[in-house]
Amino acid sequence: MKKTVFICMFALVMMMVSFAYGFSDVNDNDWFYENVTEMTGNGYLSGYEDGSFRPAGIITKAELVSVICRVNAIKEKKARNAHWSGGMMTAALDAGYYDWDEIPPSGEAYDEPITRQLAVKIVMKAFLPDIKGDYNAVSQTVKDFSQLDGRYYDSVIAAYCNGIVFGDNEGNINPKAYMTRAEACAIIMRAANKKGDLKPYEKPVASETPVTPSKSGVNVNGKLRVEDNKLVNDKGESVVLHGMSSHGLQWFSSFTAEEAIKATADYGANLFRCAMYTDEGGYISNASMKDTLISAVDNAVKHDMYVIIDWHILSDGNPLLYVDEAEKFFAEMSFKYKDNPAVIYEICNEPNGNISWGENVKPYAERIISVIRKNSDGIILVGNPTWSQDLHEVAKSPLDAENIMYTCHFYAGTHTDWLRERILDCGLPVFISEWGTSAADGNGGVYLDEAQKWIDFMNEHSISWANWSLCDKNESSAAIVSGADMSDGISEDELTESGKFVFSNF
């Protein structure tokens, strides 16, 4: 037995060694071999699970900055958004490696490729801020010098004159081309070695941030279930959840940073919804949205809130379109959060278009529910056709599953009495996982008289809700005024008319 364990461990160590030094696509005669080996050997950057390093792959802004922070042993600071690199990006920005306008702290540009001129500047600021070069020499030797933007002259000239960056065969430095992973390893390791005193990267031990308990949060209510069409807590008492929905995480992740989510809890919210769009630049085309979502979920959990993982289908009206991706995603999320009573799964935001409950949404829901149920018996919210308003269709053929609630979405400027009647008539457990004070396009109004009727209705029937949306977009459903700084919480005067109304109803 002991011998087997030993052999397994030995195999594992050998595998790790061969991943670090034996990438399938890095050969010892490649010009970047030494840089890549030193980079990965010190744990600053890793290869891919399939054993490749992808040297010609483009490096993103967030990846480059994070690697530099690791090499320079810079400690993470408080993130200004929920991106995986948020803490490193703040640290680098505060250290002056780059400016706000080059990579805005809201995070929407973090996953973009980085130009060589910006990458060189960041490397030089990080490792060799005081060395200089000779303008005349470089401007005469480098053929495409005129391509360089003025603000990068100093760093690029210094880098060129000190052997950190070279021209290509034609004598060009291609300042606006995107930097590859191999080039990034090369310039970083050259600069870092010139500075000297390199230490292997030690991953910081995650600190267990204590949960801030609240009167109506997870600490008090524990694991939720559905009984007689109502949401109840672990003691079987009725529970109602109120809070904000994020806007699309691909656009407004800064409003899912810890301080922003905490601020909603401070106003009394016990729920946060993380809207991870599938289309429109969301998860399907940008897998890093999952990391953004995970940080948002963890931020809500830290503050004792229930939190909805929302698979935000919208322009992709038929949930079956990405059902394979949804299965994988929910398998992973439900496994990751299987022991966490805070997490609620919303499996399809708003089915719409030429689809039906029976043909499309119900079969989709059955597949996803069975995936989640392998790991968790937590609450699952199920959408329905016509942007989650067709409860009467669901009522003809509900799902055969426990702890399921059906979503109903309304916008006060568009949806009135008839939808409230539908909720009462359907005889199903209903959760209003999205509503707005505006018209259905997210703008117009706000319609606070009708919104008040809805609030009274939801209170009377103990219906839980999340409001669209916590962001500062210039549209009337947004709760935050344009340009408000979320890093110090949310003050009254940072709330829009809609925000004031909603926050006073948590």
- Check binding of 43 to ligand IDC (CB under 6 A): no
Residue 257: closest CA among 108, 79, 120: 79
- Check binding of 281 to ligand IDC (CB under 6 A): no
* One character per residue 238-277, x = contact with ligand IDC (rule: CB under 6 A): ----------------------------------------
For ligand IDC, the closer CB: 173 or 314: 314
Question: b or e along 13-30 (b: 16 or more beta carbons within 10 Å of the residue's beta carbon)?
Answer: eeeeeebbeebebbeeee
Which residue number has the CB closest to ligand IDC? 442
- Check binding of 314 to ligand IDC (CB under 6 A): yes
SS3 198: coil
Question: What CA–CA distance (Å, rounded) separates 487 from 105?
Answer: 11
The minimum distance between CB 61 and ligand IDC, in angstroms, equals 24
The minimum distance between CB 436 and ligand IDC, in angstroms, equals 6
Tokens 């995603």 belong to 329
The residue within the footprint of ligand IDC, chosen from 76, 102, 154, 280 (CB under 6 A), is 280
For ligand IDC, the closer CB: 320 or 440: 440
Question: What CA–CA distance (Å, rounded) separates 55 from 34?
Answer: 13
SS3 165: coil
Question: b or e along 450-488 (b: 16 or more beta carbons within 10 Å of the residue's beta carbon)?
Answer: bbeebbebbeeeebbbbbbbbbbbebbbbbbeeebebee
- Check binding of 409 to ligand IDC (CB under 6 A): yes
The residue within the footprint of ligand IDC, chosen from 112, 227, 359, 441 (CB under 6 A), is 441
Q: Where are the alpha helices (DSSP H) in 77-134?
A: 86-94, 116-127
The minimum distance between CB 434 and ligand IDC, in angstroms, equals 5
Three-class secondary structure assignment of 21-76:
HCCCCCCCCCCCHHHHHHHHHCCCCCCCCCCCCCCCCECEHHHHHHHHHHHCCCCC
* One character per residue 333-362, x = contact with ligand IDC (rule: CB under 6 A): ----------------xx------------
The residue within the footprint of ligand IDC, chosen from 23, 44, 468, 506 (CB under 6 A), is 468
Tokens 């392998």 belong to 374
Question: What CA–CA distance (Å, rounded) separates 258 from 255?
Answer: 8
Any residues with CB less than 8 A from the CB of 175 and at least 6 apart, and which? 115, 116, 117, 144, 147, 148, 149, 152, 156
- Check binding of 387 to ligand IDC (CB under 6 A): yes
Using the contact rule CB under 6 A, the part of the chain among 105-113, 124-132, 423-431, 472-480 near ligand IDC is 472-480
Residue 502: closest CA among 460, 472, 468: 468
Using the contact rule CB under 6 A, the part of the chain among 301-309, 436-444, 448-456, 496-504 near ligand IDC is 436-444
Using the contact rule CB under 6 A, the part of the chain among 43-51, 156-164, 229-237, 433-441 near ligand IDC is 433-441
| For residue 24, cis peptide bond before it (omega within 30 degrees of 0) | no
Catalytic residues: 350, 434
- Check binding of 473 to ligand IDC (CB under 6 A): yes
Return the structure tokens found at 146: 């005129």
For ligand IDC, the closer CB: 232 or 419: 419
User: How many residues interact with ligand IDC (rule CB under 6 A)?
Assistant: 15
Question: What CA–CA distance (Å, rounded) separates 173 from 186?
Answer: 14
Three-class secondary structure assignment of 314-342:
CCCCCHHHHHHHHHHHHHHHHHHCCCCCC
Residues found in the chain: 506
The minimum distance between CB 451 and ligand IDC, in angstroms, equals 14
For ligand IDC, the closer CB: 32 or 251: 251
The residue within the footprint of ligand IDC, chosen from 104, 442, 444, 489 (CB under 6 A), is 442
Using the contact rule CB under 6 A, the part of the chain among 292-300, 328-336, 471-479, 492-500 near ligand IDC is 471-479
The minimum distance between CB 360 and ligand IDC, in angstroms, equals 17
For ligand IDC, the closer CB: 370 or 482: 482
For ligand IDC, the closer CB: 115 or 477: 477
Question: What CA–CA distance (Å, rounded) separates 444 from 495?
Answer: 17
Residues within the interface to ligand IDC (CB under 6 A): 280, 314, 349-350, 387, 409, 411, 434, 440-442, 468, 473, 475, 477
